[in-house]
């Protein structure tokens, strides 16, 4: 099945790609930031992933609890991930909730509070995630392969 992709650019330079799916009642939106672990120096290693986590600790307009409650009220999902190439923030909601999801995603990406107290707490969360990857042979082999390349 061939899909109809639409490509555009907003006044602020942000590139937008849309794929209409009339058969779906939900919508997924995302922001791909062109920064991942590949772009970090040895001194910066893990910074993109760390900042990704901090964005969900609250914004200048919403607390972490308010972010969580708002996406729950919409019946949606709000999450993020960091790869070697990108840091991606995304939301999935019913199509009628798209404006609220865009506003929430925009706030998380553009207005994170980045409070000093959250840095220490999140450091421990990241350390636990690293241990989980080290315990997963499938993840470990990908890391080893990337180092060899």
Handedness of CA 95, 21, 110, 15 (dihedral sign): negative
The alpha helices in the chain, defined as continuous H runs, are 47-55, 64-73, 98-110, 116-134, 137-148
How many Å apart are CA 140 and CA 149, to the nearest integer?
14
Catalytic residues: 52
Closest of 38, 16, 149, 32 to residue 89, by C-alpha = 32
């Amino acid at each position: 099945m061939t899909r109809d992709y639409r490509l555009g650019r907003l006044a602020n330079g942000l590139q937008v790609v849309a794929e209409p799916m009339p058969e779906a009642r939900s919508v997924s939106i995302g922001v791909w930031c062109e920064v991942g672990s590949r772009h970090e120096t040895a001194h910066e290693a893990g910074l993109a992933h760390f900042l990704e986590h901090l964005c969900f600790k609250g914004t200048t307009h919403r607390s972490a609890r308010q972010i969580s409650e708002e996406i729950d009220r919409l019946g949606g999902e709000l999450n993020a991930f960091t790869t070697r190439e990108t840091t991606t923030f995304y939301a999935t909601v019913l199509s009628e909730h798209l404006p609220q999801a865009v506003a929430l995603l925009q706030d998380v990406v553009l207005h994170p509070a980045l409070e000093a107290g959250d840095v220490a707490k999140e450091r421990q969360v990241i350390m636990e995630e690293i241990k989980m990857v080290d315990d997963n042979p499938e993840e470990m082999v990908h890391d080893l392969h990337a180092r060899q390349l």
